[in-house]
């Protein structure tokens, strides 16, 4: 069977963005995430970062909460032009939440991301971004996901939505740093509440997209 044109292409990064829609995220906060991500994608600094290399980026977005609540919002899309990026942002902006009453099954969210990554175009690097305002409270955790699913070539970065300062400072931020982050160079961004989500997402995307230096791309391409 012939490979699809998407899979035949080569890109520098396959980037999957995972948004938390668990029960702790109300309708207003969910809207701040979707609108914030859409705005971050088309911000000048992130747009510049997407096109800072002649090699394109493949982008996917999915939402997650309970064990059986993961849904693709934007399937793998090769970002070759600004029009591609605008369409991707519009798809996120117009998306509708699929569930509002599920727990926080972080291990399942990561497992879903690993499976989604297996369907990605062939890229030099693979990154999953997990955003969330709470730690795992349903099913197996991130450590089990990393043991039992294909994460050997995938970096997992995190974005903590520190909506409750007490929980964030004492538990959530260390949980992300010690349990969620995975792979070489993995890092954490912190949003001080959902109102700060757009800024934190802009900063994270710019860092990820510009972090792949020309030398690293050349070395990876020779392997």
**Pairing label, strands 57-64, 70-79:** antiparallel
Q: What is the pLDDT of residue 12?
A: 95
Q: Which residues contact 155 (CB under 8 A, 6 or more apart)?
A: 125, 126, 127, 128, 182, 183, 184, 185, 186
pLDDT value of residue 167:
53
The pLDDT of residue 23: 85
Tell me how many helices (H) and strands (E) the chain has: 10, 6
Low-confidence residues of the chain: pLDDT under 50: 1-8, 213-223
Residues 76-130 have pLDDT tens digits of: 999 999 999 999 999 999 999 887 778 888 999 999 999 999 999 999 999 999 9
- As a whole number of angstroms, the distance between CA 24 and CA 17 comes to 19
């Amino acid at each position: 069977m012939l490979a699809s044109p998407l899979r035949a292409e080569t890109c520098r990064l396959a980037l999957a963005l995972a948004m938390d829609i668990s029960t702790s995220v109300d309708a207003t906060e969910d809207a701040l995430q979707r609108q914030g991500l859409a705005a971050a994608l088309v911000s000048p600094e992130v747009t510049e970062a997407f096109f800072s290399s002649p090699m394109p980026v493949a982008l996917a977005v999915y939402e997650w909460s309970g064990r059986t609540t993961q849904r693709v919002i934007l399937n793998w899309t090769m970002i070759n032009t600004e029009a591609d990026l605008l369409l991707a942002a519009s798809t996120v902006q117009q998306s509708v939440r699929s569930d509002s009453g599920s727990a926080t099954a972080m291990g399942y969210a990561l497992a879903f991301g690993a499976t989604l990554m297996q369907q990605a175009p062939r890229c030099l690097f693979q990154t999953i971004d997990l955003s969330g305002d709470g730690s795992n409270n349903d099913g197996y955790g991130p450590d089990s996901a990393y043991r039992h699913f294909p994460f050997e070539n995938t970096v997992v970065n995190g974005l903590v939505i520190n909506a409750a300062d007490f929980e964030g400072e004492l538990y959530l931020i260390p949980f992300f740093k010690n349990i969620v982050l995975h792979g070489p160079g993995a890092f954490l961004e912190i949003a001080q509440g959902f109102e700060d989500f757009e800024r934190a997402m802009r900063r994270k995307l710019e860092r990820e997209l510009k972090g792949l230096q020309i030398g690293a791309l050349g070395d990876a391409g020779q392997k």
